[in-house]
Structure formats: structure tokens, C-alpha cells
Structure 1
Amino acid sequence: MISIELENFNIRQIMGSGQCFRMNEADADCFTVIAGKKYVEVRQKGQVVDFDCSQEDFLFFWIPYFDLDADYNRYIQAVNPRDSYLCAAAHHGQGIRILRQDLWEMLISFLISQQNNIRRIRRCIENICTQYGERIILPDGREYYGFPKPLALAAASEEDLRACNLGYRAKYVHQAALAVADGQIDLSEIRSMSYKKAREALMEIYGVGGKVADCICLFALHQLDAFPVDTHIRQVLDQHYKRGFPNRRYKGMRGVMQQYIFYYELTGIPSGDK
């Protein structure tokens, strides 16, 4: 068990921010997180956070994953004090961090996310993990499933994937898995690209549009200038930023601002005030 004190970290806010779909609330104080084949239980009371994992996993996997070495207060302090909407959003979601997730997992996850709600996305991803991921047994006998490898999903048919409740997205997932498995898509090459080039490369993949590409750039490649625009963000831009979002002011942190806005729209504003 690793116990540390963290500022600007709230595991519940991170879970609810739409970045990842294998994070779940086990009880009032405990959250389980599966990333690839890794598993951790996180408990938080105030700023004290417990990570139930080995020292090695914490240092070399979970610190980068949760972006714990970054100072998120500097992002909050960068918000224009005259922008009352963004100030409120940043204050409300000040415990959010941009996760550093696996590119392959995010590609498949956000292909599945299209025209889908978070609860159903979680269920679809859990279905493919249970069906095609590696079964892993914890020391106490509990089990979970790692995220499927490209070859495992490539071996599944489109019909098999539809049986996992993917719907029309099964075709996107099937084609992506085949392309990655046979080398048509080189994920290591995409990892080394700039934001602009990575976005363009991702949009060449069947089923990936601009919003999905931006989500992958932000949540897998940690390219913080990515600014995914879905219906929630579009409504905010239309209402609060009629001249456009102030991109120049927030260069290098636009994605962090997007997360504050997205989470605020989902959880922070009474529906009658929107």
C-alpha cells in the first residue's frame, strides 16, 4: 500500500470525466482501475490517497498514468479571472488530471464511444475484455481481464464483436484490429508524431473522425493542445465563446481546459441554468 498526499487530485472526478472506461467505484471510498493488464485500488480521504499496488508498479506505471508529477494548480491559475464560466468550471473540476493511457486501448475505446453513453461504453468494453482479454487472478482469488491485444480482436469476426453489444461500431473495431495486427497501422510511429500529424494519421483509420482523433491525442498521447468537441462542448462554445475559444491564451493546456468544461457540463450545472 502506497499512501501519499496529493493536491489537485480527485479519483471520483477523474472517473467521471469521460477519459477512461475501466475505472469503477467499489465502495464509498474505494475505486478500482484497470489499465491494460495492470490493476490498482485507490482510496481517497481528502488529499490523502492510498494506492494498493507494489512500489514498482506505483513508481513506473501509476505515477505516469495519473500524471502525478505534473502541477495542475498552474493550469487553474492560468484561467483568465475575467472568464467567470471557465473559472467556475476549473474550480469545480480541480481534481481532474489528464491520464496517460495506452494508445491501442484508447483507439478501440473511443471507436466504441461514438454515439454512445458512458454506462453503455463501459459495458461494451467490459464485454470485449471478458471475451478476448487475458484472465488475471489477484492474490486474494478475485479475477479481472486485461484489455485485448490487437491479434485477439483481429481474430474475432465482426459478428462476434456485434455480440458484445458494439452495434455498428463492431465494423470500426474489427477493421482497426486487423490494420494494427498486420502492420498497416503503426502505433509506435503515431506515438512519435506531433499533435497535428498524429491527428491526421488517426483520421485515416476507418471510423475515426475529428472528435475521436482528438480524444485519442489527449488521453493516450497526452497532447494537451487537443480539444475534443462533442455536443456538450459545442453548446458551451456557442453560448460562452461566440468568437471562439481563446486558443492562444491556453496554448499547451487546451485539453485540460476542455476537461474542466466537459466535467462541469456533466456534473456541475443544474439543468435549469444551462
Structure 2
Amino acid sequence: MVRVPQMQLSQLAWIDLKVAPKELRLDTLRCGQSFRWKQVKERHWACAMQGQLFVLKEDPHTVYYGVTPAEAKNPHTTGPIKTALYDYFQLDLVCLETEYQRWAKADHHFNSKALAFPGIRILRQDPWENLICFICSSNNNITRISQMVDKLCIEYGTKIATLEDEDYYGFPTLDSLATGVEGRLRELGFGYRAKYIHQTAQTLKHDHAPDWLLSLRQQEYEATKTALMTLAGVGPKVADCICLMSMDHAETIPVDTHVWQIAAREYGFSKKATSKTLSPALYKDIADHFRNVFGPFSGWAHSVLFSAELKSFEDKLDHATLNKKRKRTR
């Protein structure tokens, strides 16, 4: 039996990522991109990835990652962790502060939201994990998706570590989900998504090369999206989420209920709708509109506006409104 690390936050040493708040805030972890990060006490987050537990915290000035005191003295340990986090948050890809300024000049609605939502980045996730998590997202909300993904990891993943008496599991492998899982997933409450997960895992295992999914990062956006939509449970919106969050297509605009509401309320698309349902043509028109407004990295700008629609961010909206009122009364 493999012994897993038992950790407490008070025992960890903290290494500064040296990243400004305008470049990264950990609110990024609760805006519907990844469903496996767990908030541990105030301002701390943890997730098992790449066979180890990543623990993060932030203060008003920067973000830190936690390691054991012994690991803190070993650059061969801390260096790869920092490299993995820089890749995951795409910290070397784009200067977010510059992009926020450009987006704010291009769009009045973004300008009205941006100050309340600094440092929201697009995560560069593992395509396999991202795919299965967004199959779970169909007709679902963030809280329930997170619960389903947690069940999936506990049932089919490997225990990686225990932090503050809570166990953390790695994401299930392709092989673990490709054989006989549909019935058990239905018992766990996955509903029709159980069939899609099982079918997609089987397709990837038996019909494609081991690196096929990862190789889609090298394709153009439309080719990547088309390929993803050949998998069970992957429609246009789910495919777009995967393209944006794990396939390096920063121009992708997933159009869900929140984005449709933004488009209708702020950009006049309610006049273009012929019914209450989102047609493929209207979906494309909305996505193209955001791409035209925000240009490069338009999917990143879209994610900020999406975050502003979430109930979990209402505290930020209230705070921003309060500050504006204070400024007007001075």
C-alpha cells in the first residue's frame, strides 16, 4: 500500500511566484474553467495534478505555492513546480494588464466590469481531463459539476495526498474509464453523461492513437473543434470550452446561457433572435461579434465577462458598485 503525504497548511513553506495581482488572481480557479480546485480555508487552494498536490495562496501583492520545508531547499523540486504553474496559468504567454487595457478601450461593457475582476486568466489544462469535465458540464452548474468530478476522481483516480484531513485524488486515466464504468457512474448520479464518458473513453482508447487528443493542439481552431465533436457528448459549446481551455485557441468563444444573456442585454442580440433557443447561426454570430470586438485573446476577455455573470462573484460586483458610488459622492 502506497503511503500518501499527510499535510497541514501550517507546515508548508511558501515560494513566491512573483506575479502581480493584475496578472493573476486565484478567482480564476472558481470561474467555471476547472472543477477540481478546492478552497482550503481563506485564500488557499489545492488540487492534485501531474501526480502531486499543488497548494496555492495569495495576498494583495502576489501568489505563492506551498511545499514542504525540505522541498523548499531543493531547486530540483521547486523549479519544476514553478514551471508547471507558469504553464498552467500561461503566465509567460500574455501580459494580462496590457490586454485588459486594450479590451476596456474597445468595449464599454468590459470597461465597466474590468476593475472588479482583475487577473482572470485562461488555464492551460490537460486535454483529457478538460474533455471529461466538460462532458459533465452539459445542462449543469459549477457546483454540481464540481461534485460530479470529485466523485469521478474518488471512484477511479489515485489518492495523491491528504491536506487538512481532506484527501485529494488524481484525475482518472483513460484506461480506468474505458471499461465497464457506465453503470457505476449512473449510480453516482451522472445520468446520461455516464454513457458519453464511457463511449468517449472507449473511442479514444480503441479508435485513436495515444497522442491523438494532445495532437489537436497543433490543428487550426475549426479543425480542432470538428475533431472534438466526433466524440460522444461533445457539442459545439463543449468543444469550444475545450478549444479555449486546453487546446491553445485563445480566440474561442463558448456561448452558453450566461454569454447569450450578455449578448442579448449588452450587445443588441435580443433583436436578432427568432426564438428563445440559441440557433447555430446565432451562436456563430455572437462568437464572431466578440472576436471582432476584442481581437486576439478574445476568449480571455469573454471569460472575464462570463465571471461577472456568476453568482459566486456577486461580492465583487457589489464592491465595485459601492466604490463607484463613493467616487460620485466625493
Give the TM-score, by structure 2 length: 0.76
| 1:238 aligns with one of 264, 267, 291 | 264
Q: CA offset at residue 223 of structure 1?
A: 1.0
Q: Does 1:252 pair with 2:293?
A: no
Provide the secondary structure at the position in 1 that maps to 2:17: strand
Number of the residue aligned with 1:172: 196
Q: Choose which of 55, 61, 69 in structure 1 pairs with 2:84.
A: 61
Contact 1:161 1:174 in 2 (8 A): no
Q: Which moved more, 1:103-112 or 1:113-122?
A: 113-122
Contact 1:36 1:105 in 2 (8 A): no
Q: Which runs of 5+ in 2 are unaligned?
A: 1-13, 68-76, 270-285, 322-330
1:10 matches 2:25 = yes
Q: Supply the RMSD in Å over aligned alpha carbons.
A: 2.2
CA distance in 1, matches of 2:186, 2:120: 33
Where does residue 307 of structure 2 map in the other structure?
263
Q: Does 1:109 align with 2:133?
A: yes
1 or 2, which has the higher helix percentage? 2
Q: Using the TM superposition, give the Cα deviation of residue 139 of structure 1 relative to its aligned residue in structure 2, in angstroms.
A: 9.5
Q: Does 1:42 align with 2:56?
A: yes
Task: For residue 51 of structure 1, give the secondary structure of its aligned residue in structure 2.
Answer: strand
Structure 1 segment 108-257 matched on structure 2, within 5 A: 108-137=132-161, 143-184=167-208, 186-242=212-268, 244=286, 245-257=289-301
Alpha-carbon contact 2:29-2:37 (below 8 Å) kept? yes
Q: How many residues align?
A: 270
Residue ranges of structure 1 left out of the alignment (5+ in a row): none
Q: Which moved more, 1:31-40 or 1:228-237?
A: 31-40
| Superposed displacement of residue 58, structure 1 | 2.2
Q: Secondary structure at the match of 1:182?
A: helix
2:3 match: none
Corresponding residue number in structure 1 for 2:33 = 19
2:188 aligned partner, one-letter code: C
Q: 2:46 aligned to 24, 32, 38, which one?
A: 32
249-258 vs 183-192, which deviates more? 183-192
CA distance in structure 2 between the partners assigned to 1:247 and 1:141 by the alignment:
45
Give, in angstroms, the shift of residue 142 of structure 1: 6.5
Partners of 1:29 and 1:151 lie apart in 2 by 35
**Distance in 1, Cα, partners of 2:246 & 2:37:** 16
Q: Aligned partners of 1:138 and 1:260: how far apart in 2?
A: 32
Larger radius of gyration: 2
C-alpha displacement of 1:86: 1.1
Q: Alpha-carbon deviation of 1:38?
A: 3.4
